[in-house]
Structure 1
Amino acid sequence: MSIISDFNEKEKGKVLENLTCNVEQIQDDLLKEILTLNAETEYLQNFLHGSSAKELFKKKLPIVTYEDVKPYIDRVVNGEPTNIISAIPITNFFLSSGTSGGANKMIPSNNKYLEGYAFINDIIMHVINKHAKAVEKGKGMLFFLTYLESKAPCGLPIAAATSWYLKSDYFKNRSSNWYYTYSSPDEVMLGSDTKQNLYCHLLCGLVQRDEVVRIGSIFASGLVRAIKVLEDSWKELCSNIQSGSLSEWITDSGCRNSVFMVLGGQPRPELSDKIETICSQKSWKGILTILWPQVKYIDAILTGSMAKYVPTLKYYCSDLPLVSTLYASSETIFGLNIDPLCKPEDISYTLMPNLSYFEFIPMEGDNGDVLDLEDVKLGCSYQLLVTNLWGLYRMRIGDVVEVTGFHNKAPQFRFVRREKVVLSIDTDKTNEEDLFKAVNRANLVLDSSDLMLVDFTSYADISSSPGHYVVYWEVKAKNEDSKGLNFNEKTFLECCSAMEDSLDEEYKYGRCHGSIGPLEIGVVNDGTFDALMDLSTSKAQYKTPTCITSEKALQVLETNVVARFSNALSESHVA
């Protein structure tokens, strides 16, 4: 793929048109390149014996999961030559998105991934330029974070994909245009202490509040966490702005020195007073638009498990567009949203045919048919397979997507769910999408109260008979002056009923016949989901798991439960 950072907007538009008009040829050429380059790797030799023919690739190379290829990856991790799986040397391992629900995956990578990340960012910039006005005149307050790397036994670095990009030359030597202009110095993004970094991001953004034109994070959850830091720390931030100095607890030297340059040692009492007046309001509804009046849109991944944060962001951002530009994973970058100002529920991603070779297993009909990118059908759902230039071949990603349309000849996909069922007690099988729908329905009930849902996860509790679903909620008051939280039992019992009513017939059959017990809502202390994130080894890409399987995570949740509600009357009580 070509690096297009120096292209003008017209040239970038031509690149996008070429990619979406010539999908079949570009995909075939990429597969040929991958198979030819890696023909002598041990993995491909086992199946293709040096051939780069597409027909043999389809016939002989197995469709695999991560667990199938883990023995090969582990050999590279432990120091064997990287040409076991890739002719282009592996330079690092990505730690897949860390959740409390299971172990991280070690995904091999090299500079081809970073090249693709830089490429897609330039295409995204072109798309945003077409839809959002005046963004080129300001800065982005992007809550980018990196974390300390570890080392594999072979000596190669282990990091989250986003961390690795932020530490790479691709980011360091990025273009100086608006898309790569931030309110925070790079040193703030590259620090290793999350609390210090988020605080410094906010301080820099507040000092430059009239220059900030977009606010965001990699994931919606990261932005919600930054808002919480603002809620907890705005008085201290105002004090720093008033004095022109930085709190002593900011000990990271890179953060201290770079943020001091932004502050300039200049007291700003008028700005401090204005921010204090805004943050002292009883309600923080629309607070981001008031604190940063020039902001044009909010930028974060909002699909999949991030969709649950959309109501929270709408509350804090009022009518600002919520923009989800990118579809990516540790395994590959898939594509981008070419209609960035669409509603969150309408987000689809156009897959870029030059980034990886994509295949699709139909969810309906004959699952023996594996389709190419150009052969998928409108309205049909598929499981995704990826073949790339860094050692993964026909690997199931675990994502289920639905074709929603086409841009030229390039299909557009809506993320539907992760492939696996997340909750099951008996014969019921509740997947991620069904659980989200249930929680969203309950959230409509909660919205009529003075509370709002901050985050949630779930657990299939089979410690008693019959087993039942437990959905852990962290809630907060809409009115910032509220003295404690009012857990209205009637409201929460209605929330329980709303969730149960929206689950499928198999679940309802189990409830009716006594094989599944009443669903329970466990309300947890403020900050509990931050504590869950602290269990993760990959905080840069942390996403709250939809379902908890980790005993440590479950213990954190149970220790912090302050109220339980269930339509089994005896189970409804406040701790």
Structure 2
Amino acid sequence: MSLSVNIKDLDVLTSNAKQIQDDVLKEILTLNANTEYLQRFLHGSSDKDLFKKNVPVVSYDDVKPYIERVANGEPSDVISGGPITRFLRSSGTTGGKEKIFPINDKYIETLRYLVALFSLLTSKHFNDNDAKKGKKMLFLYNRSESTTPSGLMVALASTSFVMSPYFTNPPSKSNSYYTSPDQVILCPDNNQSVYCHLLCGLSRRDEVVGVGSSFAYALVQAINVLQIYWKELSSNIRSGHVSKWITDLNCRNSVSAILGGPNPELADMIEKECSNKSWEGIITRLWPKAKYFECIITGQMAQYIPTLEFYSNKLPIVSTIYGSSESLFGINMDPLSKPQDVSYTFLPNISYFEFLPVDHEGDMASIVDLVDVKLGCYYEPVITNYFGLHRYLIGDILEVTGFYNSTPQFRFVRRKNMVLSVEIEETTEEDILKASARATLVLDQSTNLMLTGFTCHADISTFPGHYVFYWELKAKDVNYVFQLDENVLAECCYALEESFDVFYRKLRSKDGLIGALEIRVVQQGTFDSLMEYFISQGGSIGQYKTPMCIKSSEALAVLENKVLARFYSKKISSSGLIVYFCVLKCFE
């Protein structure tokens, strides 16, 4: 793939998706057909029909032994015809367990290509003099790498990118467009890094046109840090000296150069804005030229939309790239689309994409190619990449929302196996997000509190089992006395229950097989503690996604240790029973 990036490339790619996909598969099979893994299915052939007939659809457990053999020192051709130069480690916060995937520089090159392509798209929509001259305040982070027994490095995708020459030595030095120098981004201590990101961003406040991170939670976390440390940040700017606890010398020296000496006028402005009783719109007050947030806000990240809108006076939230450790997929062609309407256009030159209908009922013959998906239908992506994954089930559920030329666009719906269930009901991520939005309205209308983070758990330790939601709340006004109203929180519980489907409400109301839904309000900072737990297990701030459903007993313990109060739904809906019989009547 050429490193040159041009918006016109998109029309060529998306207008010739079928031919490009066939060419990509031919190239992948020619490269990999004689690997130990594919040889037994293809016998050296690169024929597409033979590939579809003989190569099975697989999950991680099927390919894990081959990946581990290469990680332990066997040649790359166990699974890949090209060299394996490193492994990507998944964050482990979505599916609950960490995985590693083989790659080489082609993956990082593709990621750089998508980032550059999306930057061009964004600049088209925010194309004025400020945007051309300005900088992005991006909260990017490094994370220490580990090594396999074979000596190959293992790192998160975000770490692999910022450590690569495509980032540190790009042809145009594009990262000079960031407010933070490389030394801050590459600092291995995330606490020092986020503080210095803020310090650099405040020092260059008049240049900031966009505020971003890989995922939405990193932005929320940065705002939390700003709220805790604003006085110290202001003091640093007033004196022109970085706090002594910033001990990483490369980081410290580079930030000192950006401070450039005392700036009491800027320090006064920061103190004035941050001393305000309300932090509503603090982003646009501190960074008046900021035009958008840039982060992935789809899926489980959608819970942070209200928080980001509150702190920014509803700046547009631009969702960027759809990708995973297994493969990159495509980009959001409409940066100004509302978060709930974001769709990603798959680029046909990245990997070979197939799609398994959600209602396939075990019929793998129903898999279709990229250009053959149907509008409005739901699919699970099946990817074949250059590095040894062949017909690999990603585990995401996507909806086809449209086409850009001949290439389909997809809305991320949910993770396949991320559901709550205490009986036969299945409550998905999408159901949970919709229910939470309804409950948040009750909270907003009755209190001065805002929901800043949540997750949930199916508690089956007692009978009947019930859903438990962990809520972290914060007062909208800093001087507001934090109070919890039992009736309001009970009504929030009921609003959640009323949003769930007919089977949940039937089991809850008629059969009594599901107990009253419970909200457990946790201390402020609990979700930062949850993040720190997952980071201690090998995650990264930059790639962290708050799990929608908690299954880990250790992660649950982090939440349970911070519970302030418990509230239960006090009402039982009869609507579940009514709707249930209506559904039965339709099938008579």
CA contact 2:216–2:301 (8 Å) conserved in 1: yes
Secondary structure (helix, strand or coil) at the match of 2:419 reads strand
What is the aligned partner in structure 1 of residue 165 from structure 2?
169
CA distance in 2, matches of 1:362, 1:340: 28
Aligned residues: 561
Secondary structure (helix, strand or coil) at the match of 1:76 reads helix
CA distance in 1, matches of 2:136, 2:487: 43
CA distance in 2, matches of 1:344, 1:398: 21
Within the alignment, does 1:92 sit opposite 2:93 as a pair?
no
Secondary structure (helix, strand or coil) at the match of 1:447 reads helix
Of residues 144, 157, 160, the one that matches 2:153 is 157
Of residues 206, 210, 221, the one that matches 1:210 is 206
Report Cα offsets for 1:39-82 as digits up to 9, x if no partner. 11101102111010000110000000111111111111211111
What is the aligned partner in structure 2 of residue 185 from structure 1?
181
RMSD: 1.4
CA distance in 1, matches of 2:289, 2:564: 40
| Stretches of structure 1 lacking an aligned partner (at least 5 in a row) | 6-11, 570-575
| Stretches of structure 2 lacking an aligned partner (at least 5 in a row) | 572-588
Q: Tell me by how many angstroms 1:102 deviates.
A: 1.9
Of residues 531, 534, 558, the one that matches 2:532 is 534
CA distance in 1, matches of 2:549, 2:341: 25
Q: Tell me by how many angstroms 1:528 deviates.
A: 1.0
Identity of aligned residues (%): 55
What is the aligned partner in structure 2 of residue 272 from structure 1?
267
What is the aligned partner in structure 1 of residue 463 from structure 2?
465
Secondary structure (helix, strand or coil) at the match of 2:315 reads coil
Within the alignment, does 1:111 sit opposite 2:78 as a pair?
no
What is the aligned partner in structure 1 of residue 17 from structure 2?
23
Within the alignment, does 1:128 sit opposite 2:122 as a pair?
yes
CA contact 1:140–1:179 (8 Å) conserved in 2: no
Within the alignment, does 1:509 sit opposite 2:506 as a pair?
yes
Aligned AA (1:92): R
Within the alignment, does 1:455 sit opposite 2:449 as a pair?
no
CA distance in 1, matches of 2:420, 2:319: 27
What is the aligned partner in structure 2 of residue 474 from structure 1?
472
Aligned AA (1:405): G
Q: Tell me by how many angstroms 1:549 deviates.
A: 1.1
1:128-147 equivalences under 5 Å are 128-134=122-128, 135-147=131-143
CA contact 1:100–1:548 (8 Å) conserved in 2: no
Q: Tell me by how many angstroms 1:180 deviates.
A: 5.6
Of residues 550, 559, 562, the one that matches 2:561 is 559
Secondary structure (helix, strand or coil) at the match of 1:300 reads strand
1:335-414 equivalences under 5 Å are 335-364=330-359, 367=363, 368-414=365-411
Within the alignment, does 1:310 sit opposite 2:308 as a pair?
no
Within the alignment, does 1:426 sit opposite 2:427 as a pair?
no
CA distance in 1, matches of 2:176, 2:182: 11
CA distance in 1, matches of 2:170, 2:322: 21
CA contact 1:400–1:416 (8 Å) conserved in 2: yes
Aligned AA (1:289): T
What is the aligned partner in structure 1 of residue 585 from structure 2?
none
What is the aligned partner in structure 1 of residue 69 from structure 2?
75
TM-score by length of 1: 0.96
CA distance in 1, matches of 2:326, 2:478: 41
Aligned AA (1:489): E
CA distance in 2, matches of 1:161, 1:319: 30
Secondary structure (helix, strand or coil) at the match of 2:158 reads helix
CA contact 1:381–1:402 (8 Å) conserved in 2: yes
What is the aligned partner in structure 2 of residue 42 from structure 1?
36
CA contact 2:355–2:381 (8 Å) conserved in 1: yes
What is the aligned partner in structure 2 of residue 8 from structure 1?
none
Q: Tell me by how many angstroms 1:115 deviates.
A: 1.2
Of residues 324, 328, 331, the one that matches 1:333 is 328
What is the aligned partner in structure 2 of residue 286 from structure 1?
281
What is the aligned partner in structure 2 of residue 572 from structure 1?
none
What is the aligned partner in structure 2 of residue 300 from structure 1?
295
CA distance in 2, matches of 1:561, 1:245: 39
TM-score by length of 2: 0.93
| More off after superposition, 219-228 vs 416-425 | 416-425
Report Cα offsets for 1:332-365 as digits up to 9, x if no partner. 1110011101111110000000011100011236
What is the aligned partner in structure 1 of residue 580 from structure 2?
none
| More off after superposition, 415-424 vs 210-219 | 415-424
What is the aligned partner in structure 2 of residue 2 from structure 1?
2
Q: Tell me by how many angstroms 1:551 deviates.
A: 1.1
Aligned AA (1:299): E
Of residues 489, 497, 519, the one that matches 1:492 is 489
CA distance in 2, matches of 1:89, 1:44: 16
Aligned AA (2:544): Y
CA distance in 1, matches of 2:53, 2:8: 36
